[in-house]
Structure 1
C-alpha cells in the first residue's frame, strides 16, 4: 500500500505526501521459458491459455498435471495384512483457473462468453472431447482428452471488467498422450529378402517380425490398417502372449481397420466385421511400455498388400 504522510504546521494544512509503490505490471509479458497451454475445443479451434495479450491468463493454481491416481483392490492375507489383486487407474479431474478481463464491460463480456462456449462445447456427448495441450520449453508437447464439468460461475463482486473462472475438466482416460501417433508400415511389392522393419512377401504371405518400442508409461492401444489384396491377418504380441486372427478377403486397395480401444473392426464400406475375428480366443491386444516382440502374417497376400500399425504413447504426467 502507498505510504500516506500528512501534517499540520502553524495552522497551515500541508497536503499528504504520497509515496507510490514500485510499478509492477499486472500482466507480465509471455515467458517462453515456462510451459505453455492451449485448449483445443471439439470443433478444432485453438484457444491459447497462457497469452495475456488475448485478454485472459492462467493463474498459477493449476491442479491435475501429476501422476495418475489408482484404486487398489486387495484381499486379506492369512498371514496378516493384504495382497493387492488389482490396480485400477481412475479418471482425472483438472482445475484450470483463468483470469479474464477487458478495458470495458463489453470487451470483457465478449471474451468471457467466447471462452465459456469453447469449453462447454465439450460437455455435448455428440461431439468429441476437447484437448488440453501442454508445450514445454524444449518444444515437446503432451495432451489429454477432457470434457467440461464446471467453472464459469464467476466470483462474487466481479463480472464488470474482470472475473475468474475456475474451470474443472474431466478426463475419462487419465493418461496424458503424445500429440501425434507413431506409425509403422509393413509391405512389399515383390518377393525379396527380409529387411527389418519391412517384411517380405513370400509364398502368398506377408510375414513380419518386429520389435515395437512403446516409449510411454502405460499400455498403448494400436490401430491396424490392413490393405489388400489378401485373405486376412494373424497378429501376435509375444510379450503379452495375446493374438487375434481376422479372416476376410480384400481386393487390391480395399482396407480393413482394426481398433483396439474401443475394440472395433470396420470393413471397406465402414461395415462392422467384428464377427470375422477368431472368437472366443481373439484378443485385440495393446502394447506394453517398453519393448514388444510382435509378429504377424497376412494370408494370401499379393503385390500391394500392406499393414500399418499406429499407436499413441500414453504417460503418467503432463
Structure 2
C-alpha cells in the first residue's frame, strides 16, 4: 500500500552574516641605530643581532630646562631666564649568545662602538618611526657597560647612559635653499631668487619645520664685495664686508659663530661688530632677505639648516 510523504519546505538561509575574525592592526615599532664615530652602524632593535633594546628607554622626551627666577616683592618669583640643559638618555641593551665565548666577543665589540666617543667625538643615536620619519641626536657614552649581578655567562645587560650636550633631536638631512644671480631680477618662483649687481637679492620665506631654533650656514660664491643678511621675523641682521672673486667661496656658520674665507682664513672680524647678529631661524616661517654688492654671473648664496625637535 503506497505511503504518502508531505513536502518539506526548504531551509531559509540565515540573515546574520558570518563573523570573520579580523587580523589585528600592526601598530609598528620604532627602530634605533647607533652610528659610531668611526662610521660603523649598529642596529639596536633587530632580533637578528646578538643584542636588542629592552623596553625601558628613558630620556628621549622633551628637552630638560633650567629656570632662573628672582624673588618678587609681592610674593612668589618672576622668571628671568630659561636655559635648555644637556640631556642624558638611558638605553638598556641585552646581549645574549649560545656560548660564553660568543657573548664575550659580542659584548666587547658593542662596548667598543660606544666607548670610542671619548677619543673620536660623539656618535649619533638615530630613531626611525614606522611612517619613515627619522630623527637623531649626537651623544657621548658616559656609563653602562658594567654588567648585571648574576649575569655574564651567556647573556648580560648594559644600561647605557648617553650624554647629549645639545638636548634637541635633529632631522637626519639638512634643508637647503639656493639663491643665484640672474642678471635682471625675477620672481623667486622662477625657479630661484636672483641677485643683481648692487641690489637686494629679494625677500623670501624660509620654513623651519622644527620645534626650536635652527642655526643656519651660508655658503657665498663670488663675485661679491659684501653681503647683508636680514631675518625680518626676528629683526636681526649682519653685514659681511669682503671681496670674493669669481668662484671664490666664503662660509658663515652660526653654531658655533664663524666666518671663513676662500683659503679657510678667519673672516669673523669682517662682520659689522658690535651690531652683527648671526641669526637663527625661528620655528615656522621666517621672512629673510639678502643683499649682495658686486654680484655678477656666478654669484650665489646657499642657505642650509638642520631642523631640531624636542622629542625623538
TM-score scaled by structure 2? 0.88
1:252 counterpart residue number? 246
Counterparts of 2:179 and 2:195, CA distance in 1: 10
Say whether the 8 Å CA contact 2:198–2:291 is kept in structure 1. Answer: no
In angstroms, what is the RMSD of aligned CA positions? 1.4
Q: Deviations over 1:167-193 (max 9, x none)?
A: 100000000110001101101243242
Query: Which consecutive aligned stretches of 4+ in structure 1 deviate over 2 angstroms post-superposition?
Result: 188-206
CA contact 2:231–2:237 (8 Å) conserved in 1: yes
- Distance in 1 (CA, whole Å) between partners of 2:88 and 2:233 is 33
**Shift in CA distance, 90/303, structure 1 to aligned 2, threshold 3 Å:** same
Q: Partners of 1:245 and 1:280 in 2: how far apart?
A: 11
- 2:29 is paired with a residue whose SS is coil
Q: 1:102 maps to which residue? A: 97
Q: Secondary structure at the match of 1:78?
A: coil
* Larger deviation, residues 289-298 vs 169-178: 289-298
State the number of aligned residues. 286
Equivalent runs, 1:115-194 vs 2, <5 Å: 115-124=110-119, 127-194=120-187
Residue 309 of structure 1 is aligned with which of 297, 303, 306? 303
Matched residue of 2:290: which SS? strand
Confirm or deny: 8 A CA contact 1:199 1:206 kept in the other structure: no
Q: Secondary structure at the match of 2:116?
A: helix
The equivalent residue for 1:231 is 225
* Residue 212 of structure 1, CA deviation: 1.0
Shift in Å, 1:268:
1.2
Tell me if structure 2 keeps the 8 A contact 1:187–1:206.
no
Asked whether the equivalents of residues 243 and 284 of structure 1 are also in contact (C-alpha less than 8 Å), the reply is yes
Contact 1:148 1:167 in 2 (8 A): yes
Which of the residues 20, 36, 39 maps onto 1:41?
A: 36
CA distance in 1, matches of 2:80, 2:287: 27
- The alignment's TM-score, normalised by the length of structure 1, stands at 0.87
Q: Kindly indicate whether residue 106 of structure 2 is the aligned counterpart of residue 111 of structure 1.
A: yes
**Long gaps (5+) in structure 1:** 1-30
CA drift at 1:307: 0.4
C-alpha distance in 1 between matches for 2:199 and 2:281: 24
Structure in which a larger fraction of residues adopt strand: 1
- Highest CA radius of gyration, 1 or 2? 2
Q: Retained in 2: the 8 A contact 1:131–1:146?
A: yes
Report the alpha carbon displacement of residue 78 of structure 1 after superposing the two structures with TM.
2.3
